[in-house]
Every structure is written in C-alpha cells, then in structure tokens.
Amino acid sequence: MSIDVYIPTPFRRATNNKDRVAIDARDVRGLLDQLEGSFSGLKGLVRNEAGEVHHHVNIYVNNEGIEALQGLQTPLKDGDEVSIIPALAGGARYPSPGGQATPRRGEAGRPSPDGGRPTLDGARARAFVELTRAR
C-alpha cells in the first residue's frame, strides 16, 4: 500500500529536498509517525510533543482536510494523496503614511482576529494543493 505525500517547500530541508515521498500507512497518525521516523528533521515541524498537529499546519487527504474527516485517525488506502500545508505568514503589515508598520485590518476597520497574519482557509489551501500538483 503506497500513499503519496506532498512535502511543502518549507519542510523539504528535512526530506533531502524531496517534494514527494511514498509512505505505507493505515492512517494519518501512522503516516506522520513513519515520516518522522524516516526524516527526523520533520519531528516538531508538523506535530507537537503530544503528537497533535500544530494549529498552523493543515493536512489534506485527497484534497479533504482531516479535520472534516476523522482527524489523525483518518484511514488511508493505496493511491491516496496526502498534502501537508503550513499556514503562510509574512507580509501582514502595511507601511503607514508615517513609515510605521500597522496591522492589517479586518471588517469595519477592526484589527483582524488573527493579528494580521494571513493564513490559508480550506478553499485557498485546496486551491494551493491543486496548483502544486499541476507542476
């Protein structure tokens, strides 16, 4: 049973610059265990010490977020594609006329709830996954 795992650019330093890795696993937790076992540099990048996925990392099985499936217990089958997508950050502050950086604003001019950090919501993350597959 082979699962194709997409490794995002920020994590490729831990996988000897591989953008895709084939893993045999029954569920997402097992897949992450095997990834971290094969590529020790991934330890701590995707999950915390308790084994839970970091809040800034999204995992997709066949373009469906695992939070909408069964989480880390999401079963995998031969031919599935798993994508690990970290949230994007940076460029969140815009220079003001006085030269000081100001936080990005949300609705009605209030500071955005994420502190001005852009992240990928589900739809944008799925589009990102599709774009990376097209390459």
Note the pLDDT tens digit of each residue in 84-119.
Answer: 999 876 554 555 455 555 454 444 444 545 554 444
> Closest Cα partner for 57 from 41, 72, 46?
46
Domain boundaries, the chain: 3-134
pTM over 0.85: no
Q: Is the domain covering 3-134 a CATH 3.40.50.300 domain?
A: no
Q: How far is CA 110 from CA 27, 55, 130, in A?
A: 41, 23, 33
